[in-house]
Structure 1
């Protein structure tokens, strides 16, 4: 029996944050990445995939052994798992179905004060750097909307539960791109 796969476009790109097997790079067409405020937490924003026929984003697919979605669904709380099989380009020979997690538009909020956790962004960028190199990091920033959201510098005491330690060059790369998109720290 073939295992289903997921497509990750944020922290799931960083293999250090999970142990899902058969991970490999892939592209999701017809979706774009965005920072959005969700009902789940009023003070934070989350990366989500938003339907957009003109867009495509890079990410990682990985198998979900025995179709056991319980742990991944718990990790992705606040998101809905949606079928994306036909929208994902990949080289996996046994990926029969592929799901993507996205925040339902009805759960998105526009008002209020909210911020991006820098410890979360660090994890995402570290994953993109490992998988796609510096060009992939630049593409992540270019294909993600919502950079007008303030960034909370929590590096000294990370609030993100899967925070990773970055090298000085990884930290400088994140900071460089935040400066380039004029994000407010």
Structure 2
């Protein structure tokens, strides 16, 4: 979805004037609108300059180290990362922080956001960066149920090419295995896939040489 309705835009501008608005840039599961748990004002496809995705271990991994999708500052300030810019009610910021408890909330400079249409308003924009691992180098793995939600979000917002780009461009995909939990999801905001979606994801991952682990 490229644009919001005129009614949504009016509501967003009014909320910004009242100080009742913040925005955040989703680059993982937050790209998938079905994983949202707050009543947002609206969302639009966007890009952010100066950040790149990568897989890392969670800060606290316990006995079953699970991968965390994160971003890091990119040495190329013109590198553009596609995702979803979500406009939310300021009262929901605490709930979002709780959802993203493994992440630091960072402020994004206004000039770093690339939108399909010009929107002139003063609103804080955040991006969530994964907290450092307590024990770096842990043999962590990606939950397939989480990855399915991420890839479905990019498919619905951007199409098949962006699914392929996500897999090809996200750092550490080449040495981070995937835990097969699609049919017994461990990700709490898992989504249902159509057969053709599952086939696309599996074939694209296989073409990129991604390895799997069976769920313990």
TM-score normalised to structure 1 length: 0.92
Q: Based on CA coordinates, which of the two structures has the bigger radius of gyration?
A: 2
Q: Which residue of structure 1 lines up, in the alignment, with residue 153 of structure 2?
A: 127
Q: Which residue of structure 2 lines up, in the alignment, with residue 181 of structure 1?
A: 208
> Take 1:95 and 1:6, find their aligned partners in 2: how far apart are those partners?
13
> Take 1:14 and 1:166, find their aligned partners in 2: how far apart are those partners?
12
Deviation of 1:131 after TM superposition, in Å, equals 0.1
In the alignment, is residue 46 of structure 1 matched against residue 64 of structure 2? no
> Aligned to 1:31, which of 14, 31, 51?
51
Q: Assess, with a 3 A threshold, how the Cα gap between structure 1 residues 95 and 161 changes in structure 2: closer, same or farther.
A: farther
- Cα RMSD over matched residues? 1.7
> Take 1:39 and 1:66, find their aligned partners in 2: how far apart are those partners?
27
> Take 1:100 and 1:108, find their aligned partners in 2: how far apart are those partners?
21
Deviation of 1:109 after TM superposition, in Å, equals 4.5
Alignment of 1:65-104 (within 5 A): 65-86=89-110, 87-90=112-115, 91=117, 93=119, 94=121, 96-104=123-131
Contact 1:36 1:109 in 2 (8 A): no
> Take 2:53 and 2:196, find their aligned partners in 1: how far apart are those partners?
25
The count of residues paired between Structure 1 and Structure 2 equals 184
Deviation of 1:9 after TM superposition, in Å, equals 0.1
Q: Assess, with a 3 A threshold, how the Cα gap between structure 1 residues 181 and 109 changes in structure 2: closer, same or farther.
A: farther
The alignment partner of 1:64 has SS state of strand
Deviation of 1:92 after TM superposition, in Å, equals 6.3
> Aligned to 1:63, which of 60, 83, 87?
87
Larger mean CA deviation between 165-174 and 19-28 belongs to 19-28
In the alignment, is residue 8 of structure 1 matched against residue 26 of structure 2? yes
Deviation of 1:40 after TM superposition, in Å, equals 3.1
Deviation of 1:176 after TM superposition, in Å, equals 1.3
The alignment partner of 1:74 has SS state of helix
Q: Which residue of structure 2 lines up, in the alignment, with residue 156 of structure 1?
A: 183
Deviation of 1:97 after TM superposition, in Å, equals 2.1
Gaps of at least 5 residues in structure 2 are 1-14
Gaps of at least 5 residues in structure 1 are none
